[in-house]
């Protein structure tokens, strides 16, 4: 659906040297996928996300949207903005309306929908984001941090994007808030939205996404299915990332004489596999 | 877009201007600003423009970067020039239609004001572009310290200037992020209709103010927690010393004045 070809991007920083943030990035986003983007701090994850969302124009490269190639970045950006919604890190900092309801309605209103359609959009996205309707008349500034984040995410969902990008959406949430957020993402994905999750947490990626794009120093290191990426320990280490904790535990168990398949990345799968291995050995 | 604003930002480069004592640079800027508003006549401005160009070249700040910084003030320059163009009374009418009269004096006045504003902005941005906020405020504090004797709260003032300068890039980054976030939600900042354009600022300004207050509050609490007292008599780990470069700057200023005086007398 969206394709980036040989994309370069550099920030003209306030010094005599330019920072090249992205080097020769090629990637393809297909409809209905759940994709993870991982990489060390400063590897270019946010920059890629902003290009995908049509918020910054690459310095070089080609953007293809729905099979149509754009050489003119301005129209490419317009096409991307219509398709892609992005939830930035700490999205709660962008709330501005007097009430929660009106803040969520900002996006659909900009799309020119009538009042009834806007109302439908708001209610639907609020329920997707697990936001109670009692909060609709409150000021967004009176809410707790987690609730604010829900409002912000609902505000992006309300624009009904075909592709939803989330940049570290779980940062600063407690474990249960984190689990609930990921659960919401799975639901959004089931509704047919393509979801791109940027995260440092290998556990979150392992349990949710189908495909992982690894970035390191602005270059694409690997782009493969989740299990394939986690088996390539070398690439992960090159990006200063680690395999999920549970996979490490399995490796340690195997070193100590157990025999469990090592392509296991979630706690539930590990549970089953360990039980099975114990049965066999008895 | 928002990154075009270079006022108050620091641009790192290995240049003699960067290494100069901040006090020299502050005094130079002050001197430059005064000169800018007292000199008259075409040739004086030629000299000022030339010496400004020389300083920019020495400072190793790309000309493109300097010019980009002028973008936000274009409107101000245009309005000032237009006002001067139409409002100045004069003898030599070159164009007249209805209430609009343009005189030769008006044209001179408009050109002079435009050049003055542009040079003023360039001159002050050279100071901030080549000096980090901490060094700048350090220099300012020493220069203003005599006023402490008559009870002016210089330390507080300098601290406020320092914090303000320090927060310009932070708030610009924040603005950039908010603009992107609202753009992604379909906000339209490029509408031709001026009323709609102003209305489109609300979703940017409110989060920006909220975050500015939050940051100010956080900073105030953090300073309070460390028992900050602006009036404390404190020393600084930074020692400023005048050196060869500062002597050259002084020589430069002297030559600059002599040339301007000569022009005034001769022409
Ligand atoms: N506004 C900016 N100006 C200049 N350089 C920038 C800017 N934003 C990012 N960079 C640089 O671009 C590179 C990529 O940054 P990016 O924000 O995409 O990293 P990231 O992978 O999102 O990191 P993180 O995990 O910390 O969010 C970094 O080297 C960074 O220093
Ligand atoms: Mg980032």
Encode pLDDT of B166-177 as tens digits: 888 888 888 989
**Opening angle at CA A61, ends A58 and A65, nearest 5:** 85
pLDDT above 70 (res B74)? yes
Ligand 1: which atom is nearest the Cα of residue A48? 18
| Domain positions in chain B | 2-151+239-266, 154-230
Angstrom distance (rounded) from CA A167 to CA A45: 8
Give residue B124 CA to ligand 1 midpoint distance, Å.
30
Residues paired with A223 in a beta bridge: A213
Structure tokens at B172: 């610009």
Return the pLDDT at A239.
82
pLDDT above 90 (res B63)? no
Phi, then psi, of A82 in degrees rounded to 5: -70, -25
Which residues does B41 contact at the CB level (< 8 Å), separation at least 6? B263, B264, B267
For B130, the closest chain A residue by CA position comes to: A15
Return the pLDDT at A17.
61
Question: CB distance from B15 to chain A under 8 Å?
Answer: no
pLDDT above 90 (res A167)? yes
**A50 Cβ below 6 A of ligand 1:** no
Ligand 1: which atom is nearest the Cα of residue A49? 18
Mean pLDDT value across chain A: 88
Angstrom distance (rounded) from CA B123 to CA B32: 7
Ligand index nearest the alpha carbon of residue A52:
1
Question: CB distance from A244 to chain B under 8 Å?
Answer: no
Structure tokens at A229: 């990426």
**Are B172 and B179 within 8 A, CB to CB?**
no
pLDDT above 70 (res B6)? no
Distances (CA, A) of B202 to A119, A262, B159: 22, 54, 30
For B174, the closest chain A residue by CA position comes to: A93
Q: What is the pLDDT of residues B222-235, one digit of tens each?
A: 999 999 887 777 77
Residues paired with A60 in a beta bridge: A8
Is B186 in contact with A86 (Cβ distance < 8 A)? Answer: no
Identify from B65, B131, B186, B208 which residue to disrupt to test chain A contact, counting A C-beta atoms within 10 A and taking the largest count. Answer: B186
Is B186 in contact with A81 (Cβ distance < 8 A)? Answer: yes
* In chain A, % of residues over pLDDT 90: 43
Give the closest residue to B56 by CA, choosing from B109, B130, B5: B130
**Are A214 and A207 within 8 A, CB to CB?**
no
The shortest C-alpha distance from A99 to chain B (Å) reads 13
Give the closest residue to A167 by CA, choosing from A3, A55, A32: A55
Q: What is the pLDDT of residues A240-265, one digit of tens each?
A: 888 888 888 888 888 888 888 888 88
Q: What is the pLDDT of residues A198-244, one digit of tens each?
A: 998 888 888 889 999 999 999 999 899 988 888 888 888 888 888 88
Which residues does B21 contact at the CB level (< 8 Å), separation at least 6? B139, B240, B241, B242, B243, B245, B246
Phi, then psi, of B234 in degrees rounded to 5: -115, 155
Mean pLDDT value across chain B: 86
| Domain positions in chain A | 244-282
Phi, then psi, of B124 in degrees rounded to 5: -70, -35
Angstrom distance (rounded) from CA A182 to CA A170: 8
Chain A with chain B: Cβ pairs closer than 8 A: 71
Return the pLDDT at B229.
84
β pairing state of A84-87 and A2-11: unpaired
Split at pLDDT 50, 70, 90, the class of B3 is low
β pairing state of A2-11 and A19-29: antiparallel
Tokens 């927690």: give the residue. B225
Range B112-133 average pLDDT? 90
Structure tokens at B262: 């000569």
Ligand 1: which atom is nearest the Cα of residue A50? 18
Is B185 in contact with A110 (Cβ distance < 8 A)? Answer: yes
Distances (CA, A) of A5 to A24, A63, A64, A192: 8, 6, 8, 25
Return the pLDDT at A49.
95
Q: Where do runs of H (alpha helix) occur along chain A?
A: 45-52, 73-83, 100-110, 115-128, 145-157, 175-190, 202-208, 226-231, 233-238, 245-255, 267-281
Range B24-42 average pLDDT? 90
Angstrom distance (rounded) from CA A148 to CA A92: 5
Distance of CA B198 to the CA centre of its chain: 25
Give residue B2 CA to ligand 1 midpoint distance, Å.
17
**Are B116 and B36 within 8 A, CB to CB?**
yes
pLDDT above 70 (res A64)? yes
**A43 Cβ below 6 A of ligand 1:** yes
Looking at this predicted complex, what is its ipTM? 0.84
Return the pLDDT at B13.
87
For A112, the closest chain B residue by CA position comes to: B186
pLDDT above 90 (res A128)? no
Distances (CA, A) of B156 to A121, B98, B149, B159, B217: 51, 54, 14, 5, 17
Angstrom distance (rounded) from CA B67 to CA A263: 57
Return the pLDDT at B218.
93
Range B68-89 average pLDDT? 85
Phi, then psi, of A85 in degrees rounded to 5: -115, 145
Range A30-36 average pLDDT? 93
């Amino acid at each position: 659906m969206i394709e980036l070809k040989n994309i370069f991007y550099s920030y003209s920083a306030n010094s005599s040297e330019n920072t090249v943030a992205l080097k020769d990035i090629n990637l393809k986003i297909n409809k209905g996928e759940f994709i993870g983007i991982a990489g060390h701090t400063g590897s270019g994850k946010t920059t890629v996300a902003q290009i995908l969302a049509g918020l910054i124009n690459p310095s070089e490269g080609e953007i293809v949207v729905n099979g149509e190639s754009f050489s003119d970045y301005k129209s490419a950006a317009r096409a991307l903005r219509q398709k892609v919604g992005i939830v930035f890190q700490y999205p709660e900092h962008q709330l501005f309306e007097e009430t929660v309801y009106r803040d969520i309605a900002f996006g659909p209103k900009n799309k020119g929908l009538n009042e009834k359609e806007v109302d439908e959009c708001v209610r639907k996205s609020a329920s997707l984001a697990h936001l109670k309707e009692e909060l609709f008349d409150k000021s967004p500034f009176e809410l707790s941090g987690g609730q604010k984040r829900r409002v912000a995410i609902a505000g992006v969902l309300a624009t009904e994007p075909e592709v939803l990008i989330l940049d570290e959406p779980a940062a600063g949430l407690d474990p249960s808030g984190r689990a609930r957020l990921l659960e919401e993402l799975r639901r959004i994905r089931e509704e047919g939205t393509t979801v791109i999750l940027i995260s440092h947490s290998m556990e979150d990626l392992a349990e949710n996404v189908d495909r992982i794009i690894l970035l390191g120093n602005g270059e694409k290191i690997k782009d493969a299915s989740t299990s394939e990426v986690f088996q390539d320990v070398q690439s992960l280490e090159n990006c200063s990332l680690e395999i999920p904790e549970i996979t490490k535990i399995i490796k340690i168990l195997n070193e100590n004489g157990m025999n469990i398949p090592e392509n296991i990345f979630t706690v539930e799968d590990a549970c089953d596999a360990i039980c099975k291995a114990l049965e066999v050995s008895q | 877009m928002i990154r075009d604003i270079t006022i108050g930002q620091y641009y790192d480069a290995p240049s003699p201007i960067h290494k100069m004592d901040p006090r020299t640079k502050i005094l130079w800027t002050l001197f430059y600003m005064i000169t800018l508003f007292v000199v008259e006549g075409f040739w004086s401005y030629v000299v000022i423009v030339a010496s400004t160009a020389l300083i920019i070249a020495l400072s190793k700040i790309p000309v493109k970067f300097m010019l980009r910084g002028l973008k936000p003030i274009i409107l101000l320059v245009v309005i000032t020039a237009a006002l001067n163009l139409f409002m100045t009374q004069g003898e030599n009418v070159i164009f007249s239609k209805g209430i609009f009269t343009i005189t030769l004096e008006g044209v001179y006045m408009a050109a002079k004001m435009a050049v003055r504003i542009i040079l003023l902005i360039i001159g002050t941005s050279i100071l901030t572009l080549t000096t980090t906020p901490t060094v700048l405020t350090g220099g300012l504090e020493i220069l203003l310290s005599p006023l402490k004797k008559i009870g002016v709260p210089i330390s507080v003032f300098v601290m406020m200037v320092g914090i303000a300068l320090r927060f310009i890039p932070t708030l610009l980054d924040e603005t950039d992020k908010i603009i992107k976030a609202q753009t992604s939600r379909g906000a339209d900042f490029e509408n031709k209709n001026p009323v709609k354009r102003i209305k489109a600022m609300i979703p940017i300004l409110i989060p920006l103010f909220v975050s500015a207050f939050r940051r100010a509050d956080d900073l105030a609490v953090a300073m309070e927690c460390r028992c900050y007292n602006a009036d404390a008599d404190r020393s600084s780990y930074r020692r400023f010393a005048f050196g060869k470069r500062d002597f050259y700057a002084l020589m430069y200023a002297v030559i600059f004045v002599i040339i301007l005086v000569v022009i005034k007398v001769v022409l």
